[in-house]
Each structure stands twice: as structure tokens, then as C-alpha cells.
Chain A
């Protein structure tokens, strides 16, 4: 079947495509997995904060680090990837359409990812893979752990190819037109994801899988870590960019405004593509084997990524202000009271935006060449990504859920569910504020991350951490309540809310908006620049690592309780 659907241009605005039943089934499947993940991994998070409070021991011989592995893998790798791919498919379906053929392929991708998740989950649940979501060699998990994760990645690649194909077909039918903004953004994110996961796939296929199966005796630890972080930082942006899509192109519609600046939004995404990959060394600042000059170069590149984030912040506040003024606000901050605070589709992402201010500042600190020494591997870092991913990204995803799920399921976000959503958002914010603040402070006091409860032989320093660990337990409990609430709302929205129509809010451009320059669509050029930057940042250090490599490491499986 050819791509029959086309965007219908009317005089004033663009009418988007309806989403058919088989389509919504596909998109919802990804979102179901995401919410099941939220519930399971959230429970693991609750157990962790309990253990770390020092007043709770896990039953049935379950190990703390096993719980930690489930929490990390399921939230960071499963929930995010599934939600994002489902959401992005919905954006593509709405703006450029999906063919029956593409939909079949998308199902193959979905089942591959799900199969991979199940294989990995079994290895972790049997206690054979307590290696945390970073799985640093030479700690060795069961081969199933690595094979499962590889399948998740390969499944996500299918989504990349489908999204690219979707836009390509649309462009064939619309010669000389600029691509729809959301489709443009999805394609940028998937190019970034594909380039980044190539590093992960290389590590898996060339290093971890043969080594864990016993085909190769040793592994080059530094190379594996470098490949991991080559992937690990763009991973963070893979989470963040869908949130930015919502902020740029969906929130303005929800607050009753227009898109601020189409070109600027595209430019910021192009900059993310360039600068989110060649920066992995800032996660490796305290490694012994990487030259300090190259570390510094990647710190500089990391700082450049802040520019598109500033552009995003500017656009958002500009939209808020312009919209407020149109509605009659005066003064510098008069727009504040014209924002729809009682609409959870706005409130949840807005709290996420607020959390990104301290989250971003913390990121700059972590990435700094010398300041990193103070916080490296302390629980400060954990606090940092519970602000950025755990609040900014997740609350935005929740904000999306409130309209996307009813839209796909032909139901309504009722006033009472909206109200419950507001309570949920606030509960989440309070829980996270308590937990993440306590983590940041404890981290500054030197408290380590990824550690079960310990009094470290009763030292005075370790005693200082007790109060903060208690606060984390309180914050974590509040968060778990928020998770239960969210899962409840999700089930209601998907299956029990009254039938009806819910809007798929996509912001339009101002009537007198300046045209977007066509050079924005020079995809090949963007890819070439991105690759050139990666080669610049990685080639010499990588050659260095291989030329001056120490003897490799044999596997160690006993430290994770594997015997």
C-alpha cells in the first residue's frame, strides 16, 4: 500500500492526519511497556531508599545490587526507549503518516525490543547479572544480559529506519516544502540515537558478547568504557529531545499560543545532533588512561551543548510572554497569571522545566574539568539525574500521556482525572525535591553512590550522612505514591475514561512568521558535520588507547554473587 495520506493545506492552518485504529494500537503498545516498567522499577527504587535508610533489610536473600540493576536498566533503558519510540511514532503518524508496510516493520521492532527486554530481565531476576545499567567490564554478567540489551538496540534501529523512511516518502509527495517541524525533530533524534548506539553495538558485538560466551579470554576495559560513554551521554539527550519536542511544538498550543520560531527550534536540534555525541569523556574525567588535553577538549564541546538549551529556554519564556500579552497581560511578569495552571497538560511539563534549571547547573558542575573531583561517583550525581531525567523528562512524558493516551484511545481527560493529575505532578515534585536535595547535599559531603547501607566502620563522616539517607527514604516513599497515582491515571485514561475526543495539540506558526530557510533541510550535511566532530574528538585518543593498551582483563563473575 502506498502512502495515501497527505497533509491537507488550508488557508490559515495545517490540518493533521487522523490516527487510525491499527496505528494507535501500535503506539499504545510501546506506552504500555513504558508504564509497566515505571511500576516495577519504581518499586525497586522504593526498596533501595529503604535499605539505605539503614532500617530495612531485603527479604528472601535478594541482593541490594540486584534491585539496583533492575531499577537502572528498566528505567534508564527500557521505560525511556519504549516511551520515546511510541511517542515519536505518534508524532510521525500525525504529521507525515505511516504506511501499512511501515507499521508491520514497526511491530517487528516492537517485538524484538520486548523480547530483548524479557531476556535481560530474566538474567537479572535470576541474580546472574547484577552489573547495574552501566555493566562496566570486567564485571561479567550472564551472556543473556548483553544479548537482550543488544536486541533492544536493534529493535530501536528498526524504528530509526522507519522514521527516516516516513519523512522521505512525505518529501517525495511534497517537493520543495519544508518538513513538518515535529517530523524534523524526530528524525534528528533518531539520527543521533543511531550514531550513538553504533558505539554500544560495537562494544556488545565485538567485546562483551564474545567475552561473556568465552570466545575471547580478555576484554579491553578502557575501550569498553569509552564506547559505553560515547553512547551514554547522547543517551541523555535521546531522553531530553522528545521533551524538547513537546516544549517547542506542543506546549505553545496547550497554552493557547503559537510556535515561537520554527527556524530556531530546528537550529537548536541540529546543534544537539552535533554536540551531544563527541562529549563522552566528561563522564571519564577521573579515568587513569585518557590524556588530559583530550578530556579538556570534550569538556569544551560539552559546554557548547548548553547553547541550544539556552535557546530552548528563551523560546519557551518568549512563548509564555507573547501568549500572555495577547491575552491582555501587562508588565514584565504579567503573563504569569495567564498561563493555564489548572491544566495538567501544561503544569506537569512546566514543573519539569523548572527542575531543569538546577539540573542544568548541576550538569555544568559535573562536566567541569576540576570540579568533577568533588562530586565524581558521589550520590550528588544520582541527585542530578533524578532532577534532569527523573523530573524534567519524566514529568514532560507524563504531561504528554495526559493527552496522547486519551487521543489514541478515543477517550477524554475528564476534569477529575485532570485534577488527580495535578495532585500527581505536585506529589512527584515534592518527593523529588526532598530526595534529590538530600542526595545533592550528601554527595557534597562525600556520600558514595551505588552503595548499599554501610556505616563505614562508624566514622564521623559516614554518621553525617544518616539524616540525608533518611530524607531520601521519605522523598522516595512520596515518589512511590506518585508512581501508583500515575499508573492509576494511566489505566483510567487508557481503559475507563468516558468516550470522547481529545486534542492532539500541535502549535501553529504565527501568520506573519518569517520563512524557515531551506538550508535547514540539508540532512546529509548535518550528518557529515556530526561525524566529523566525533572523529575529531575520538580518533586520536582511541588510537592512543589501543596502541598503549595494557593486557586485557579476564572476566570476573564472582564479585556479583554469581557463584
Chain B
């Protein structure tokens, strides 16, 4: 098969660029450990409360050490359940200090949902039967919208909360 000289050069440069991109991605993934969520931890979607993290009293924001937090969330159409405040009202807003490390753990009791804290890399699919987990450091102060970005029914666009990251 005949390949023109310029064509060979063009394709070689293209392939070299691709390999470079892949090396960068692989370095980020396997050396720096920056992966999309993939832990494959299963859960019974009909009974998520059986898991400790999703029991009523453990929902929402919990401080585990000085600068470490856990946020446990039960997603359903069309709500994120973060438990209730002292007055018994559903929590719609959480506050996290800047530079804290936060582990998000989310499970759904019905259909697939998204879990996206806009302006951060916290962007997960939440699927029945699996726990979606992501640990991150909240480096930027401000108020962030947490919303569902995977279609979950007619009230999909009403599914959101706010996350505030404050300067200490």
C-alpha cells in the first residue's frame, strides 16, 4: 500500500500527539491517583438504610477529625436527603471550612441521579445498587450549587442543594 511522504509525516505527528496525551492521562491516573470514581461497592437499593452511612442519624455533614469531613446523602426523585436540622426541618444547605478534606458518599433509593457540585470536580453518577464515593479537598471558598445532572423524572430540575465553603 502506497502512503505519501507528507501523509506519513502528518499521521506520525498525530499519533505521537495522541501518545503524549495518553501518557499525561496515565500519569495523572496511575501516578497521581486522579481517577474517576470506580470503587464498585454494592448496596441493596431497596434497603440503603441497612448501610451504616445511610442511616437517618448519619446523613448530612459529619466532622471526623480536625480537617476531615464526611457528607452522606440519600438521593431520590427529586430530593437529596441530608437529614434534618435541630428544628426537624430538612437540611438544604451545608457549610464546610476551606481546605477541609471531604468524603462524599451517595446512594439512591430509586432511579439514577447525578451528583454535581458545580464549579468543582465533584461530579458523579449515582446508580441503584452502588455507593458513589469521592474524596476531595474544598480549596475554593464560595457558595456552590449541588444539583442533579442526570435525568431522573419530571422534577429533575428541582433537585438541588447548596454547599458553602467558608474561610476560617
User: Max chain B CB contacts within 10 Å: which of A264, A369, A554?
Assistant: A369
Binary per-residue interface labels of chain A (528-562) against chain B in the complex, 1 for a CB within 8 Å, 0 otherwise: 00000000000000001000111111101011110
- List 17 extra interface pairs beyond A451-B149, A461-B118, A561-B153, CB under 8 A: A65-B156, A136-B150, A289-B40, A290-B38, A292-B38, A306-B14, A314-B10, A370-B25, A376-B123, A377-B149, A448-B116, A459-B143, A460-B143, A548-B42, A553-B129, A554-B46, A559-B154
Chain A residues closer than 8 Å to B116, beta-carbon distance: 376-378, 446, 448
- For window 370-386 of A, CB contacts with B under 8 Å fall at 370, 372-374, 376-378
Would you mind naming 16 contact pairs between A and B with Cβ atoms under 8 Å apart? A136-B111, A261-B3, A287-B127, A295-B36, A296-B29, A307-B11, A364-B21, A370-B29, A376-B149, A377-B149, A448-B114, A450-B156, A456-B160, A550-B45, A556-B110, A559-B154
Contact A291 B38 (CB under 8 A): yes
**Distance A299 CA – B39 CA, assembled complex (angstroms):** 18
Chain A residues closer than 8 Å to B36, beta-carbon distance: 285-286, 292, 295, 369-370, 372-373
- For window 123-139 of B, CB contacts with A under 8 Å fall at 123-133
Contact B7 A139 (CB under 8 A): no
**Distance A374 CA – B133 CA, assembled complex (angstroms):** 16
Does B148 belong to the interface (CB within 8 Å)? yes
Known contacts: A139-B111, A303-B21, A307-B14. The answer to whether A295 contacts B38 by CB under 8 A is: yes
**Distance A68 CA – B151 CA, assembled complex (angstroms):** 11
- For window 104-129 of B, CB contacts with A under 8 Å fall at 110-112, 114, 116, 118-119, 121, 123-129
Does B34 belong to the interface (CB within 8 Å)? yes
* 10 A-B pairs with the lowest CB-CB distances in the bound complex, closest first: A559-B153, A550-B129, A446-B118, A454-B157, A448-B149, A550-B42, A514-B2, A288-B130, A377-B149, A292-B38
**Distance A451 CA – B113 CA, assembled complex (angstroms):** 12
Contact A452 B37 (CB under 8 A): no
Contact A261 B4 (CB under 8 A): yes
Among B26, B34, B41, B151, the residue within 8 A (CB) of A65 is B151
**Distance A369 CA – B11 CA, assembled complex (angstroms):** 24
Does A222 belong to the interface (CB within 8 Å)? yes
Chain B residues closer than 8 Å to A551, beta-carbon distance: 44-46, 129
- A58 CB, nearest partner CB in chain B, Å: 12
Among B11, B35, B153, B155, the residue within 8 A (CB) of A139 is B153
B side interface size, CB within 8 A: 70
Known contacts: A307-B11, A307-B14. The answer to whether A136 contacts B112 by CB under 8 A is: yes
Does B18 belong to the interface (CB within 8 Å)? yes
Contact A452 B156 (CB under 8 A): yes
Does B28 belong to the interface (CB within 8 Å)? yes
Does A16 belong to the interface (CB within 8 Å)? no
Chain A residues closer than 8 Å to B155, beta-carbon distance: 559
Q: How many A-B residue pairs have CB under 8 A?
A: 226
Among A136, A364, A368, A457, the residue within 8 A (CB) of B162 is A457
User: Max chain B CB contacts within 10 Å: which of A136, A289, A311?
Assistant: A289
- A525 CB, nearest partner CB in chain B, Å: 15
Known contacts: A130-B154, A561-B154. The answer to whether A459 contacts B162 by CB under 8 A is: yes
Does A221 belong to the interface (CB within 8 Å)? yes
Contact B131 A377 (CB under 8 A): no
Contact A286 B34 (CB under 8 A): no
Contact A138 B110 (CB under 8 A): yes
- For window 76-116 of B, CB contacts with A under 8 Å fall at 77-78, 92, 110-112, 114, 116
User: Max chain A CB contacts within 10 Å: which of B25, B38, B39, B158?
Assistant: B38
**Distance A285 CA – B134 CA, assembled complex (angstroms):** 13
Across the interface, name the chain A residue whose C-beta is closest to B37: A288
Does A441 belong to the interface (CB within 8 Å)? no
Chain A residues closer than 8 Å to B14, beta-carbon distance: 306-307, 310
- For window 247-296 of A, CB contacts with B under 8 Å fall at 261, 263-264, 267, 284-292, 295-296
Does A462 belong to the interface (CB within 8 Å)? yes
Across the interface, name the chain A residue whose C-beta is closest to B10: A314
**Distance A24 CA – B93 CA, assembled complex (angstroms):** 63
Contact B40 A291 (CB under 8 A): yes
- A63 CB, nearest partner CB in chain B, Å: 6
**Distance A183 CA – B1 CA, assembled complex (angstroms):** 20
**Distance A288 CA – B15 CA, assembled complex (angstroms):** 31
Does B22 belong to the interface (CB within 8 Å)? yes
Does B145 belong to the interface (CB within 8 Å)? yes
**Distance A318 CA – B8 CA, assembled complex (angstroms):** 13
Among B4, B125, B158, the residue within 8 A (CB) of A287 is B125
- A453 CB, nearest partner CB in chain B, Å: 7
Among A139, A264, A299, A304, the residue within 8 A (CB) of B152 is A139
Among A304, A449, A461, A556, the residue within 8 A (CB) of B111 is A556
Chain B residues closer than 8 Å to A561, beta-carbon distance: 153-154
Contact B29 A369 (CB under 8 A): yes
**Distance A558 CA – B154 CA, assembled complex (angstroms):** 9
Across the interface, name the chain A residue whose C-beta is closest to B133: A288
**Distance A132 CA – B151 CA, assembled complex (angstroms):** 8
Chain A residues closer than 8 Å to B126, beta-carbon distance: 288
Binary per-residue interface labels of chain A (334-373) against chain B in the complex, 1 for a CB within 8 Å, 0 otherwise: 0000000000000000000000000000001000111011
Binary per-residue interface labels of chain B (60-76) against chain A in the complex, 1 for a CB within 8 Å, 0 otherwise: 00000000000000000
**Distance A63 CA – B145 CA, assembled complex (angstroms):** 25
**Distance A109 CA – B145 CA, assembled complex (angstroms):** 49
